[in-house]
């Protein structure tokens, strides 16, 4: 009797098993990072407030698209808390992105190669940490790459609709929609693509335009207008805003013609800065494989790379979170490049050594991500001392006036207090205080790290008891810290005297 031999595993079953293992690793990493961080950074309070205010006011909800807050609002129907729904939405989107990356890679590679691409996305520090944050990145990426996946299957209408939903989350989807046109065969298919995309984005464009009283494709027009500015991310000043408001209105074509030379002059420098951030997010070993893969199998996954040309046109400082959208495409191309290089030298009889060398490049590149600036952004993900700010906000929620207005450079304390945030300008000390009084601000917040870094005009108020005693317009009602550079002070603002 012949010995029994187990039936070999089918590629399909092996693929599902490997994808399951990668998703399990991705989930474990994301849960670990979620426990270590608060999930709050930059615009997180804005998105929570937008989700809470949807359908309750006709005023603009904020300088962001409505898609992500709408998804968070839906999630909050089943998930308790103010912060947890947004984090769960980002987590699920991050896991979906891993699966979509695997399916995109499977159209170009066998199971092992596709698994490598998915693992690079699953274990990349930036994608992992933003998958647990109340931010739009992971949701946008999941929708955008799902659209590319549908496009590879020749389902143009479904792909355009998905990319339209991605536009409702972030305006960059418009760039992807245009960049994908050359990859579509035939005029009819391109017309359908643009038509379905336009129908999908029409409600968002209508809502943004209605809120602002003029046709607009994005509420982030300030970034476009700042493309000619001498410095990116310039702090807001009352004097500059009043001067701009007093100036006679000019046609936008005239304004654009004046700004174009300065914007063009700054473009090369901004491009270099963004390329440097991309290299930090995707270091040399991985980039070399990605370039080889893009040369070997160019295609639809080149579409996200169009963002590289657009980012330098915005008046915003290059940041590590901007290259995130490129990483899944680069990961697939890195796996394609490794597989192609292995195939080129397989006939030379050095298959095992080449495979080991390529594996070293992939693992070493991923380790470089964690060791370098991308990993550092995970270790210092929060841009503020959240525990101190949370404690100050909770104190103010109990002891402050309900519905009060709180002036602060960042929105964290008013967010935790459940109060309205008023952005703090960067004028001289007296101008800021008088503006707060005229604007009906109830409380003014000064953080230690903000004071020493960006609002040094508040140093006397925070460090000199005599100055504070003479100041009759502000009364300190809270002060506390949880270590060096975590101090928070809350001042009650005296209203101006009625003449």
The pair phi, psi for residue 489, each rounded to 5°, is -125, 140
Q: Which residue is listed with tokens 């109340």?
A: 134
What integer pLDDT is reported at residue 491 of this predicted model?
97
What integer pLDDT is reported at residue 351 of this predicted model?
74
Please state which CATH number belongs to domain 386-493. Answer: 3.40.190
What integer pLDDT is reported at residue 16 of this predicted model?
80
Domain limits, CATH 3.40.190, in the chain: 386-493
Collapse the DSSP code of 74 into the 3-class scheme (helix H, G, I; strand E, B; otherwise coil) and give the result: helix
Q: What is the pLDDT of residues 49-98, one digit of tens each?
A: 999 988 776 566 778 899 999 999 999 999 999 999 999 999 999 999 99
Low pLDDT (below 50) residues in the chain: 1-2, 7, 244
Residues whose CB is less than 8 angstroms from the CB of residue 463 and which lie 6 or more positions away in sequence, other chains included: none
What integer pLDDT is reported at residue 233 of this predicted model?
66
Please write down the long-range contacts of 15-19, taking CB distance under 8 Å and 24 or more positions apart: 15/106, 15/111, 15/114, 15/115, 18/111, 18/112, 18/115, 19/99, 19/102, 19/115, 19/118
What integer pLDDT is reported at residue 251 of this predicted model?
61
Sheet with 474-480, side-by-side order of all strands: 420-423, 405-408, 443-447, 488-493, 474-480
Q: Are 35 and 87 in contact (CB under 8 A)?
A: no
Distance CA 247, CA 132 (A): 44
Single pTM value for the model: 0.91
């Amino acid at each position: 009797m012949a010995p029994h031999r187990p039936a070999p595993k089918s590629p399909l079953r092996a693929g599902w098993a490997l994808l399951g293992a990668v998703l399990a690793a991705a989930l474990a990493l994301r849960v670990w990072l979620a426990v270590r961080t608060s999930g709050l950074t930059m615009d997180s309070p804005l998105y929570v407030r937008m989700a809470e205010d949807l359908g309750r006011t006709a005023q603009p909800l904020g300088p962001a698209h409505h898609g992500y807050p709408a998804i968070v609002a839906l999630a909050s129907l089943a998930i308790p808390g103010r912060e947890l729904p947004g984090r769960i939405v980002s987590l699920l989107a991050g896991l979906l992105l891993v699966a979509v990356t695997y399916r995109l890679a499977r159209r170009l590679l066998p199971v092992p190669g596709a698994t490598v691409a998915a693992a690079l996305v699953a274990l990349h520090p930036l994608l992992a940490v933003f998958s647990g944050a109340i931010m739009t990145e992971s949701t946008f990426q999941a929708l955008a790459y799902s659209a590319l996946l549908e496009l590879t299957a020749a389902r143009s209408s479904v792909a355009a609709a998905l990319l339209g939903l991605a536009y409702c989350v972030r305006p960059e989807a418009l760039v992807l929609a245009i960049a994908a046109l050359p990859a579509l065969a035939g005029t009819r298919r391109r017309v359908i693509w643009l038509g379905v995309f336009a129908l999908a984005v029409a409600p968002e464009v209508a809502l943004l335009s209605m809120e602002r009283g003029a046709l607009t494709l994005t509420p982030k027009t300030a970034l476009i207008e700042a493309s000619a500015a001498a410095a990116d991310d310039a702090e807001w000043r009352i004097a500059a805003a009043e001067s701009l408001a007093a100036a006679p209105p000019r046609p936008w074509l005239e304004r654009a013609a004046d700004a174009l030379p300065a914007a063009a002059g700054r473009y090369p420098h901004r491009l270099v800065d963004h390329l440097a951030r991309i290299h930090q997010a995707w270091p040399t070993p991985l980039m070399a494989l990605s370039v080889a893969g893009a040369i070997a199998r160019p295609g639809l996954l080149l579409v996200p790379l169009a963002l590289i040309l657009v980012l330098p046109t915005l008046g915003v400082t290059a940041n590590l979170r901007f290259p995130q959208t490129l990483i899944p495409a680069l990961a697939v191309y890195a796996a394609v490049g490794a597989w192609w290089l292995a195939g080129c030298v397989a006939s030379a009889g050095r298959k095992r050594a080449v495979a080991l060398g390529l594996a070293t490049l992939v693992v070493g590149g991923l380790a470089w991500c964690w060791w370098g600036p991308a990993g550092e952004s995970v270790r210092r993900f929060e841009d503020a001392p959240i525990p101190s700010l949370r404690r100050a906000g909770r104190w103010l929620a109990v002891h402050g006036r309900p519905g009060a207005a709180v002036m602060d450079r960042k929105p964290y304390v008013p967010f935790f207090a459940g109060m309205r945030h008023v952005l703090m300008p960067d004028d001289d000390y007296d101008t800021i205080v008088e503006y707060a009084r005229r604007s009906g601000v109830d409380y003014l917040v000064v953080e230690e790290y903000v004071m020493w870094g960006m609002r040094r005009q508040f140093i006397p108020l925070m460090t000199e008891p005599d100055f504070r005693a003479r100041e009759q317009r502000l009364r300190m009602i809270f002060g506390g810290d949880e270590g060096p550079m975590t101090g928070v002070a809350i001042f009650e603002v005296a209203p101006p005297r009625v003449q």
